[in-house]
Structure 1
Amino acid sequence: MRELKFRVWNTIDRKMLKWGDIFHLPAWEIFPGTPEQRAFDIMQYTGLRDKNGKEIYEGDIIKKIGDIKTYSIVFDGVLAAYLMDDGTGGYGLNQMLLRDFEVIGNIYENPELLKDKKMKYRKRPVEVEAFRLGCEPMPGWFLNEVKKNNIKTSTFGYTPNESGDSFYRDELQARIKTSEGTMYAEDGDYIIKGIKGEIYPCKPDIFEATYEKVEDSQC
């Protein structure tokens, strides 16, 4: 049976205390009506130890030897089990696994150990060719793919005017064969030629949020 031990974080004085340091207080001060009123965050001993024999509690931060990735120890109420959480999901704990891990801090006194651990990337600046279907002339690279039957275009449209009389307005559509299957472009969408010659459609709002416009086009 796991030994029952606790430690306590004093949220007012911002100090880590042993359970005995608050054990003399009345229960209503330790466990008030709501968590927001609580002056103490109570953490239980998991019953497990790290590679150095140090006891592991809820809220501890652990790291595998030779790795930069860190995990916080959490209790999952649904699984009724302690997990090591890397920010994207929890993993089960056992003593065999923890023989390669060590406690390096906790979420209260060392929160910086969990920050900025996710790998971040910035998209490299690239130049692409593009035009807006139905708004700008079709460039040669697009027409060449039409001739090869890799792109098929069609026109359609029927719009009533304010007086009720009807008139046709041609609207372009394009079906584009790509390595990921056939994609469809509607009138006003951008058609992009990528850095490897790949051709694909893009909605105007996404295009304008991703690429810097060199010149305006009217549709």
Structure 2
Amino acid sequence: MRNDENKSVRAFRMGMDCRPDWFMDEVTANKVITYAKNKSDGPFEFMETYADIITENGIIRANYGDYIIKVRGRMHVLDPARLIFKKARKDINL
């Protein structure tokens, strides 16, 4: 990995964005396990996708819609609802 790649932040939303190559490399290396299951048996099938990310500290679950980010070679999971709340708190100085 190049030094400049190590400094960049990469992100996507689980189940909403296309899975980037860096994420699929982690799947291939068995550092991430992805899952997909049907939410309903009706005429409009919706897939629930999620992933388990294996880290030094244990397994982190990334649910549908969560942001998966990679910073300095490490992956993290961020819930978008928490991000919006933090921004709102900052905007109103709580």
1:172 has 2:83 as partner: no
Unaligned residue ranges in structure 2 (runs of 5+): 1-6, 88-94
Q: TM-score, normalized by length of structure 1?
A: 0.33
Structure number with the bigger relative contact order (C-alpha 8 A, sep ≥ 6) is 2
How big is the alpha-carbon RMSD for the aligned residues of Structure 1 and Structure 2? Answer: 2.4
Choose from 52, 64, 73 the match for 1:197: 73
Matched ranges for 1:1-219 at <5 A: 128-159=9-40, 165=42, 167-194=44-71, 196-208=72-84
Name the SS for the 2:11 alignment partner: strand
Count of aligned pairs between the two proteins = 81
Q: TM-score, normalized by length of structure 2?
A: 0.72
Query: Going by fraction, where is helix more abundant, 1 or 2?
Result: 2
Moved over 4 A (4+): 208-211
Larger Rg: 1
Sequence identity percentage = 33
Unaligned residue ranges in structure 1 (runs of 5+): 1-125, 212-219
